[in-house]
Amino acid sequence: MNVSLYQEAPRLKPLALAVMLAMSQVTMEVAQAETVVQVKESLDDCSTSDTAEVNGGKECTDKDVTDKDVTSNEVLPVIGSETTVIQGRDLSTEDVYLRDISNVHATRENIENYKGTSVGDLFKGLNGVYTGEARNSGALDPNIRGIQGTGRVPVLVDGTEQSTTIWLGPGGISNRSYVDPNLVGGITAEKGPSFEGPSGIGGAVRIRTLEPGDIIQPGKTWGIELKTETATNTVAERDGANGWYGQDYRDVKANGVPIIGTGGDYGGIVAPLGGGVTLVPESGSDHQGFNGEDYAWRLAVAAEQEHFDLIGVHSYRRSGNYFAGENGADAYRTEDWIEAMQKAKSQGAGNSSEYNDYLANLFRPGQEVLNTHSEMTSTLLKGRLELPHNQELSLSWMNTEQIYGESNVSIRMIAHDPKNMIDMDGTGDMAYQYNNPPSEVDQDTWNLGYSWNPDNPLIDLKVGAWATQSFSVRHQNGGFQYQPMETDRNYNNYLWCSVYQSAWPEQAAMYENHCRILHNPDTNPYEHDPDYRDESIDGTLVDASRQEWNHDRYGLNVRNRFQLSPDFALTLSADAQHEELDGWDASEAHLSKNPFVWGNSHMGPRAGTRREYNAAMQMEWFPTDTVMITGGLKWSRYWSFDDGLDEHRRNQHRGWAKEYEVAYAQIPYGLYLSEEQTAQLNAYLARAREISGARASGTLTDEQRAFAAESNAWLAELTGGNFAVTKELQAANEDLVFYGASSYGKVPTVEIGGATYLGGGLIGGHNASSRGLTAAIVDYADGDFRGMRDRNPFYNGTLDINETVTTADGKELPKYLAGFNAYNAETGERLGTTSFVGNDRVENPEKYKDIDIVYGPATISHVTRVLDDSEQWSRPQKRRNEAWAPMLGITWFMTPHNRVYARYSEYVRFPSLWEDTQSAVGYGSYTTGTDVSGYSIEPERTRNIELGYVQDLTPWLSNVRMADVRLNYYRNRIENYIDRNVDYQVLQFDEKRTEGIELQARVDTGRYFAGLGATYRLNNDLCDADYAATLDPYNQGQYAACVDGGFPLTFTRTSTQPELSINLDGGMRLMGDRLELGGRVTYHSSAENEDEQQWIDEHYLYTGYLNEAYNLESVLVYDAYATYEINNVFKLNAGVNNITDEYYLDPLTRTLLPAPGRTFKLGLTARF
């Protein structure tokens, strides 16, 4: 800005004053051809976005102040503002260039001009800020610089934290913050931790709701605003099968055909395709134009009086299922997609983009995308009261009720069955889509604030109390959404044999068995009944997938700023948060016992209590005119308790005992034996049964004991101590040959190149699945994989998987065989993993026609020990921890128009309530009841470095209101990163690493304006050498210690942002600023995980599972808007999103739902 700021009797040095005023977000109006500054006064009644959380969320708008013209050398008061106005333009984004922390801002006007179809569209245009599951959650799940998850990037609405974690079954978890876009007055996203208010290790998203100043016209003390809008590209959702609940399934028909209730652990229903559970998607060409299926309205009433202001807002929005775009879909479909998907399903692994490759066949371009509808009703009440002596009291309440469609993360699986295909008017195969019951959310938010700011440099006090209470219902626990309480077997057989056999004669053969059972009098006592119906059976349809969650948060905070000297200020703050979580799942009613639901009942419906306390100090010091130093120190403490597990253990509920705990890992391997060693092995085995029988009969001789001891010593020398007998079993069976591992005189062996290899397996351990002599036994530490690399003989130098031996006839063969690998039986060449070779033989039979294949032993497994009775019902303990975190920054103001800064900050995140209430088992151990509840989780600690350069370009550009450039480099290291392993167990990884470069720029000439944002990702790795050694136990170079994105099945592998993201916006103001035209271009580069692609290509362990990190194509989307002020009352808004009607996927997509196609919007606002 072409403005100089001075002070007559400086409390701060002249340049320091300018800096402090800038960092306080000076609000001014600059006339186009004048150097007059209009300063907004009377700002004691409001606060900046950084401090709003401690005074009830009251933030400054242009109505909070009165205008006063002053010349450039007048004394300027210390002021602050959230919303800045220059010639009618909202300049809240000033904060982006004034603060020494990278941040982006979206104003109310920007949000409403580019309002999208989904809640996740709120982040479009905020460069470097993304949301997970943008089209499938009805909520925000912020991702900043590749950091995502509960507590890592909190969403703060008027200072209250809005966040809950939901369970997606085998697909994992998702963090969700429910926000109504119609109530948003501004969004600021901080890219990194901050001590200036509640924050996270990845930053924070601060959302301001509407204020009276957003509604009341200038010069008035009250106002009413009615805002209406509608959009195209939607169609009304259909109820489908949702009306079947409560009915007996034998009374329900779909498309005129009776449905069948299936039995067993996987019991659901069988219904004709397109009959309700699945539906035929509508075509966008049949629903063009404004059809009234997407509309919204908002009524706001506000008043501003001398000592108080009030606002009340009621908002409603309804949007049907949207239609996908039509252009650019070729990258998401293939001609042989059905065969490819069936093949991928049978093999369990394949190309990481395989599901993308058929997306446009499942969700065809221009067709309806089911389960994308939403309906939202919100009410907001806010009030502020001025008290004597510069005190203020504020209070707000907000309620949001939301009903939204939601698809399962495994929705792609419908494409595996060719019977799900239909012909759409001769246009080719298309899949039916599942029509799921809608999810629901009911959320209340309360906020109470108090502030006191007398004429005293030592008092600037703000105190706040808040609460959020959230109740939600979802239908994704892995169980069936439509399930009978009981099934009538003979009635079902009757339908299979008659109705269904007649309806689908091409499948008659598969129904023959039902007919045989039906007509067998020994198995069907109801043959005389024409309907074969047993009325004693309860066939009521229930929702076995239902989840209910109550998640409440309560918070207190206090902050005071002390201006101790002209050059030094100190801020002290403290806050506390109490959190309660209580989940219920249909599996608790024993509606189903399939493993997916069993896992959810033990891992999904968490119940617990958590409390966290924080205290911080932050200082600002100007040692010279051009240098500012900031520093701070934060202390944090927390505790949590698993109320759900405690209740189960206290009442000794079935299935909740601590039956086992992980004791060690076994790593079977094959070992080359020379002819002499083979002969010696056989000599020992020849007497194994004899000695075992003698001990059993009590007739064991000293000679036999000596022979057994000799065999055991020989085995230890042969294997270097890495043999497959636990220490416990060695002590118990030292008088048996090979410690009893060969009681019957046999052990597994294979032959390669004429040589004998001793096979591997485990002896000892309740879940041992194989028997052999060669396996490394690695003890566990603390129930996780820490120390695996040091204790694994294939990593610590004891054994070398690449070592070879030369046989007597000159052949070079491997000395060791790795588990889960296949070998050439003649040459000993390793051909690949067992899975890879098995699939490759089917695809390329000629390649293997002259090769005999030998398979190595099984791979690594985790062995447990049985707990005694005294341990099985042990109650969980309260978890506690505390930590300190520092922050230090330095800024050099090179001139009044540019500066550089460096910032180092640490931040600590304690485990979330979800992570600390891990319940009783890891998912992969559901058959064993393995206990992991005692696993200790340490706090995550981030060490963040940010370097920045900011330049004001106005001195070199004439007739420009503003022109700024900001360049940032960031480097983030997060120790003890919390995620999950391949057994779906929450544990910690050594380090998460992110690194990148960010660019932001803007220019505004008054008539024309433009902005540019770019983010380039240099690095996003997850590192853990021990975990890599667990996935690759034979040190074959499969998994590096640091991998791109994350290891298999971790959540972080699906939270990697695109390598390059660019946002470009611009526009012009015409007709005396009454008409504004604008447009935006959003680009995301393709997202491909090369590390994961190699894992999948080679069929490494644990690839090809749910929660894949999909390869996403690049995205280029254009949006535009126009606003026209008809008069002082009416304003017309129009816009179009996705102008080119692109078919694309949003970044960080986990559920493969294409984004909306071209959508026209039209709105009318009336302000009185």
pLDDT of 1099 over the 80 cut? no
Tokens at 173, concatenated:
């978890």
Amino acid at 938: E
Question: Cα–Cα–Cα angle for 745, 746, 750, nearest 5°?
Answer: 150
Torsion of CA 50, 54, 55, 59, to 10 degrees: 20
Q: Which residues of 839-850 are buried (b: 16+ CB within 10 A; e: fewer)?
A: bbbeeeeeebee
Burial of 1163 (0-12, 13-18, 19+ CB in 10 A): buried
Q: How many CA atoms lie within 13 A of 372 on its CB side?
A: 29
More confident residue, 403 or 872: 403
Whether residue 591 contacts residue 617, with contact meaning beta carbons closer than 8 Å, is answered with no
Residue of 692, 782, 780, 818 lying closest to 743 (CA atoms): 692
Tokens at 734, concatenated:
């030292």
Segment 707-722, tens digit of pLDDT: 999 999 999 999 999 9
Least confident of 132-136, 311-315, 1142-1146, 1154-1158: 132-136
Beta-carbon contacts of 256 under 8 Å, excluding residues fewer than 6 positions away, are none
Q: Write down the pLDDT at residue 356.
A: 63
Torsion of CA 403, 404, 410, 411, to 10 degrees: 120
Per cent of the chain over pLDDT 90 is 53
Burial of 691 (0-12, 13-18, 19+ CB in 10 A): buried
More confident residue, 386 or 861: 386
More confident residue, 529 or 177: 177
Q: Is 970 left (phi over 0), alpha (psi -120 to 50) or beta?
A: beta
Q: Write down the pLDDT at residue 64.
A: 41
DSSP 8-state code for residue 910: P
Beta-carbon contacts of 947 under 8 Å, excluding residues fewer than 6 positions away, are 900, 901, 902, 903, 968, 969, 970
**Residue 43 pLDDT grade (very low, low, confident, very high; cuts 50, 70, 90):** very low
Q: Write down the pLDDT at residue 840.
A: 84
Distance (Å, rounded) from C-alpha 826 to C-alpha 813? 9
Beta-carbon contacts of 1012 under 8 Å, excluding residues fewer than 6 positions away, are 999, 1000, 1001, 1002, 1062, 1063, 1064
Whose structure tokens read 């002290």?
572
**Residue 410 pLDDT grade (very low, low, confident, very high; cuts 50, 70, 90):** low
* Alpha helix stretches (DSSP H) within 906-990: 913-916
Whether residue 354 contacts residue 337, with contact meaning beta carbons closer than 8 Å, is answered with no
Distance (Å, rounded) from C-alpha 791 to C-alpha 779? 8
Distance (Å, rounded) from C-alpha 1137 to C-alpha 233? 10
Q: Is 648 left (phi over 0), alpha (psi -120 to 50) or beta?
A: alpha
Amino acid at 797: G
**Residue 1056 pLDDT grade (very low, low, confident, very high; cuts 50, 70, 90):** confident
Beta-carbon contacts of 243 under 8 Å, excluding residues fewer than 6 positions away, are none
pLDDT of 1076 over the 70 cut? yes
Burial of 746 (0-12, 13-18, 19+ CB in 10 A): exposed
pLDDT of 779 over the 60 cut? yes
Least confident of 93-97, 772-776, 928-932: 928-932
Burial of 1002 (0-12, 13-18, 19+ CB in 10 A): buried
**Residue 1050 pLDDT grade (very low, low, confident, very high; cuts 50, 70, 90):** confident
Please give the average per-residue pLDDT across 198-221, as a whole number.
94
More confident residue, 460 or 97: 460
Q: CA end-to-end span of the chain, whole Å?
A: 34
Residue of 301, 424, 417, 415 lying closest to 368 (CA atoms): 424
Q: Which residues of 432-466 are buried (b: 16+ CB within 10 A; e: fewer)?
A: bbbbbbbbbbbbbbbbbbbbbbeeeeeebbbbbbb
pLDDT of 1131 over the 50 cut? yes
Distance (Å, rounded) from C-alpha 146 to C-alpha 127? 13
Residue of 103, 320, 349 lying closest to 202 (CA atoms): 103
Distance (Å, rounded) from C-alpha 302 to C-alpha 308? 11
Please give the average per-residue pLDDT across 791-800, as a whole number.
94
CA 465 to chain centre: 29
Domain boundaries, the chain: 222-480+544-658+874-1163, 488-536, 661-866
Distance (Å, rounded) from C-alpha 1086 to C-alpha 353? 12
Tokens at 72, concatenated:
């450039």
Least confident of 510-524, 530-544, 846-860: 510-524
Tokens at 1042, concatenated:
């640091």
Distance (Å, rounded) from C-alpha 258 to C-alpha 254? 6
Please give the average per-residue pLDDT across 740-755, as a whole number.
83
pLDDT of 677 over the 90 cut? yes
Q: Write down the pLDDT at residue 31.
A: 31
Q: Write down the pLDDT at residue 386.
A: 96
CA 915 to chain centre: 13
**Residue 768 pLDDT grade (very low, low, confident, very high; cuts 50, 70, 90):** very low
* CA 641 vs CA 101, 550, 978: distances in Å: 35, 16, 18
Please give the average per-residue pLDDT across 510-523, as a whole number.
62
Amino acid at 1151: T
pLDDT of 22 over the 50 cut? no
Tokens at 1048, concatenated:
């298999």
Least confident of 104-118, 323-337, 353-367: 353-367
Please give the average per-residue pLDDT across 218-240, as a whole number.
95
More confident residue, 351 or 825: 825
pLDDT of 864 over the 50 cut? yes
By three-state DSSP, how is residue 1051 classified?
coil
pLDDT of 1105 over the 60 cut? no
Q: DSSP per residue over 362-415, as a string?
A: HS-TTBB-TT--EEEEEEEEEEEEEETTTEEEEEEEEEEEEEE----TTGGGGG
Question: Cα–Cα–Cα angle for 1058, 1060, 1062, nearest 5°?
Answer: 115
Q: What is the mean pLDDT of the chain?
A: 82
Per cent of the chain over pLDDT 70 is 79
DSSP 8-state code for residue 137: S
Whether residue 276 contacts residue 244, with contact meaning beta carbons closer than 8 Å, is answered with yes
* CA 668 vs CA 716, 790, 857: distances in Å: 15, 17, 6
Tokens at 761, concatenated:
């397996």
Least confident of 744-758, 892-906, 1055-1069, 1120-1134: 744-758
Whether residue 99 contacts residue 23, with contact meaning beta carbons closer than 8 Å, is answered with yes
Q: Write down the pLDDT at residue 1037.
A: 86
Please give the average per-residue pLDDT across 252-279, as a whole number.
78
* Alpha helix stretches (DSSP H) within 250-328: none
By three-state DSSP, how is residue 676 classified?
helix
More confident residue, 346 or 300: 300
Q: How many CA atoms lie within 13 A of 307 on its CB side?
A: 6
More confident residue, 88 or 246: 246
More confident residue, 239 or 564: 564
Distance (Å, rounded) from C-alpha 436 to C-alpha 752? 54
pLDDT of 285 over the 60 cut? yes
Please give the average per-residue pLDDT across 195-214, as a whole number.
93
Topology at the third CATH level for domain 222-480+544-658+874-1163? Maltoporin; Chain A (2.40.170)
Tokens at 77, concatenated:
């008061």
Three-class SS string for 973-992? EEEEEEEECCCCCEEEEEEE
Q: DSSP per residue over 712-768, as a string?
A: HHHHHHHHTT-BSB-HHHHHH-TTSGGGGTTTTS---EEEETTEEEE----BSSTT-
Q: DSSP per residue over 813-841, as a string?
A: EESEEETTEEEETTT--EEEEHHHHHHHH
Q: Write down the pLDDT at residue 1028.
A: 92
**Residue 1059 pLDDT grade (very low, low, confident, very high; cuts 50, 70, 90):** very high
Please give the average per-residue pLDDT across 240-246, as a whole number.
89
**Residue 35 pLDDT grade (very low, low, confident, very high; cuts 50, 70, 90):** very low
Q: Write down the pLDDT at residue 431.
A: 67
pTM of the model as a whole: 0.86
Residue 76: phi, psi to the nearest 5?
A: -110, 130
Residue of 1105, 665, 1107, 660 lying closest to 921 (CA atoms): 660
pLDDT of 124 over the 50 cut? yes
Residue of 161, 845, 695, 714 lying closest to 465 (CA atoms): 161
Q: Write down the pLDDT at residue 865.
A: 78
Please give the average per-residue pLDDT across 254-276, as a whole number.
76
Q: Write down the pLDDT at residue 510.
A: 59
Residue of 539, 488, 541, 538 lying closest to 518 (CA atoms): 488
CA 58 to chain centre: 31
**Residue 434 pLDDT grade (very low, low, confident, very high; cuts 50, 70, 90):** confident
Torsion of CA 581, 587, 589, 593, to 10 degrees: -160
